[in-house]
Amino acid sequence: MTAPTDTWTVAGRTFSSRLIVGTGKYKTYQENAEAAEAAGAEIVTVAVRRVNLTDPDQPMLVDYVKPDRFTFLPNTAGCFTGEDAVRTLRLAREAGGWDLVKLEVLSDTAHLYPDMIETLRALELLIKDGFQVMVYCTDDVVMAKRLEEAGAAAIMPAAAPIGSGLGIQNRVNIRLIIEQATVPVLVDAGVGTPSDATLAMELGCDAVLMNTAIAGAKDPILMASAMKHAVIAGRQGYLAGRMPRRMYASASSPMAGLI
Amino acid sequence: MRIQVNGEHREVEAATILALVEELGLDVRKVAVERNLEIVPRSLHASTALAEGDRVELVQFVGGG
């Protein structure tokens, strides 16, 4: 049993679920809401986009994934400059009235890795504007420290390219980022399977953020449930402390008393 | 008057932000408004007048990762 006190805190807000889920790529908002419930998520990421003026009656995210049930974490997906990010998140703050946000400033490329120079500049602009910023970043240990020094509320390195489902490509870097950090570290992007999520948690991440791994599964609701258990398993494994690695066998049954 | 809404030119009857949101059939509680690159807080929708040539953005939360 995980003690009920095993919580994590970001920007003064405390959560018990260590699985943050995205709300993109689902077939319907209904399926999306069911997956978020099955994942046991308390935080969901959302994007900010123009309303559809030609069909104002089309379904809206907030009618299914409700802001009184989940903490919305607005992202800056689609922003390529600091100014774009500030503009988008000011609108998000007006739409939802909160200041906890996810910054992602991507490079306009096939791999979608974040542009870290622009991300750091955007972070500084957002902090000046009063935001609490969880920052999507590369798994660069030095850059992660720079983000923290600039005031990031959480460091969120990519495990692999967004939507790739390739799992943690560089666990050494993720571990080094965790060891040096004094703010929460979350693996964001690249998780494909429950075992990937478990591994992230075993490394000592405070939480995991994923979208496609659930939305892109054959049965997203079942996968959401699997991810929930995977994150709990990894967390408990981390807290329990793994056995030492050995080069040679060590018998589990006693040698004494053999017949 | 003629204004730009979400990048499209439009002829509107509305004289205020609130009236515009209603004219477009949107739920005022679910959209955020920017007028000429400045946020218009919900509390000021009714009292913020539109002017010819204004550029208005109306946004909402959608699914995203």
- A71 vs A193: CA distance, rounded Å: 24
3-class state of residue A154 by DSSP: strand
Amino acid at A108: D
A217 marked among binding-site residues: no
Cβ neighbours of B27 (radius 10 Å): 15
Tokens of A191: 């998780």
Q: Indicate yes or no: CB of A49 within 8 angstroms of CB of B39.
A: no
Which residue among A45, A62, A87 sits closest to B64, beta carbon to beta carbon?
Answer: A45
Q: What crossing angle do the helices spanning A116-128 and A82-96 adopt, rounded to 10°?
A: 40
Q: Report the phi/psi class of residue A154: left, alpha or beta, with left for phi > 0 and alpha for psi in -120 to 50.
A: beta
Q: Indicate yes or no: CB of B6 within 8 angstroms of CB of A46.
A: no
The verdict on ipTM greater than 0.90 is yes
Instruction: Kindly list the catalytic residues of A.
Output: 102
So what's the pLDDT on residue A2? 53
pTM of the model: 0.93
Q: Indicate yes or no: CB of A53 within 8 angstroms of CB of B58.
A: yes
Backbone angles phi, psi at A63, to 5 degrees: -80, -15
Which residue among A61, A90, A189 sits closest to B62, beta carbon to beta carbon?
Answer: A61
A212 marked among binding-site residues: yes
So what's the pLDDT on residue A3? 55
Q: pLDDT digits over B15-47, tens only?
A: 999 999 999 999 999 999 999 999 999 999 999
Q: How many residues does chain A have?
A: 259
In 3D space, the residue among B50, B54, B46 whose CA is nearest the CA of residue B3 turns out to be B54
3-state helix, strand, coil in chain B (%, to 5): 20, 40, 40
Got the DSSP string for A137-173? E-S-HHHHHHHHHTT-SEEEE-SSSTT-----S-HHH
| Exposure letters A9-33 (e unless 16+ CB within 10 A, then b) | ebbeeebebbbbbbbbbbeebeebb
Q: Indicate yes or no: CB of A24 within 8 angstroms of CB of B33.
A: no
Tokens of B45: 């929708």
In 3D space, the residue among A45, A13, A49 whose CA is nearest the CA of residue A156 turns out to be A45
Q: pLDDT digits over A4-51, tens only?
A: 689 999 999 999 999 999 999 999 999 999 999 999 999 999 999 999
Tokens of B30: 């679910």
> How many Cβ pairs within 8 Å bridge chains A and B?
101
- Please check whether residue A162 is in contact with residue A182, taking contact to mean a CB–CB distance below 8 angstroms: no
Backbone angles phi, psi at A207, to 5 degrees: -165, 170
So what's the pLDDT on residue A96? 87
Q: Residue A9 forms beta bridges with which residues?
A: A14
A211 marked among binding-site residues: yes
So what's the pLDDT on residue A4? 62
> Which residues of A fall within a CB distance of 8 Å from B26?
51, 56
Which portions of chain A are predicted below pLDDT 70? 1-4
Q: How many residues does chain B have?
A: 65
Q: Which residues fall within 8 angstroms of residue A100, CB to CB, at 6 or more apart?
A: A10, A11, A13, A71, A73, A131, A132, A134, A153
Cβ neighbours of A110 (radius 10 Å): 7
